[in-house]
Structure 1
Amino acid sequence: MTLHITDQDFDAQIAEGLTFVDFWAEWCGPCRMLGPVIDELATELDGKVKIAKLNIDENRVITEKFGVMSIPTMILFKDGEPVEKIQGFQPKEALKGYLESKI
């Protein structure tokens, strides 16, 4: 299941293990294309990687903290620390392979 996180619960949600956060917005076409991919990955990688979405329009503090300037941007966190940032639409297989290589 895809988590929907906010400025308020962000730190608690990414504190342990691997968390892959999709920074997105309603008005972003590529973000809307990526949405179903993110949801499928959340189901397929359940128990291995937490998959989360953060709406940049509603959560400016975290968006600015991690320097998200264009979307979609995805950041992989390990135990609360950013590991790597990926920008732009990516096909499901590419993202799944990337995440599986980090597990």
Structure 2
Amino acid sequence: MAIVIELSFYRSDRPMSVKKQFGSFDELLESSELPVLVDFYAPWCGPCQLMTGILDKVSEKMKDKVQIVKINTDNYPDLASQYKVYALPTLVLFKDGAPVDRVEGVIQADQLCDRIAIHA
């Protein structure tokens, strides 16, 4: 199943995001040379909106260490089920295509950076 993913990154000290299509979620994970932090969210989720600014800070601080990806669970419920996403937001860190860390709920940028650094 093709999947359209929002990729977040920093260019010239400002956050950017682009939408890119992949043949599958596994293709996305395999195509990244960096660990991939997946933000499972929904547009109607208030705490998910809080994570946007936090993820911008993480992206800026760790731009060469992690690729941040946002997945709208309303559009991809099967993917959310596959990774047992029952609460939003849920952040899953993948390294070499496998999940290595997980956070449910809002987390501060510094704490998230520390968790990512363990696997970067």
RMSD between aligned residues: 2.0
Q: Is 1:56 matched up with 2:73?
A: yes
The structure whose RCO (Cα within 8 Å, separation 6+) is larger is 1
Of 75, 82, 92, the residue aligned with 1:75 is 92
The Cα shift of 1:51 comes to 1.0
**Paired residue type of 2:76:** N
Partners of 2:22 and 2:76 lie apart in 1 by: 5
The equivalent of 2:106 in structure 1 is 89
**TM, length-normalised to structure 1:** 0.86
Q: Which has the larger radius of gyration?
A: 2
The alpha-carbon distance between structure 1 residues 13 and 31, as it changes in their structure 2 partners (threshold 3 A), is same
| Structure with the largest fraction of strand | 2
| TM-score for the superposition, normalised by structure 2 | 0.75
**1:37: Cα distance to partner?**
1.0
Judged with a 3 Å threshold, the aligned counterparts in structure 2 of structure 1 residues 50 and 3 are, in CA distance, closer, same or farther, namely farther
Quick one: distance in 2 between partners of 1:95 and 1:81?
18
Q: Which residue identity does 1:90 align to in structure 2?
A: I
Determine which of 35, 53, 56 is the counterpart of 1:39: 56
Task: Quote the sequence identity (%).
Answer: 29
| Unpaired segments ≥5 residues, structure 2 | 1-8, 10-16
In structure 2, distance between residues paired with 1:7 and 1:69: 24
Which has the higher mean CA deviation after the structures are superposed, 55-64 or 7-16?
Answer: 7-16
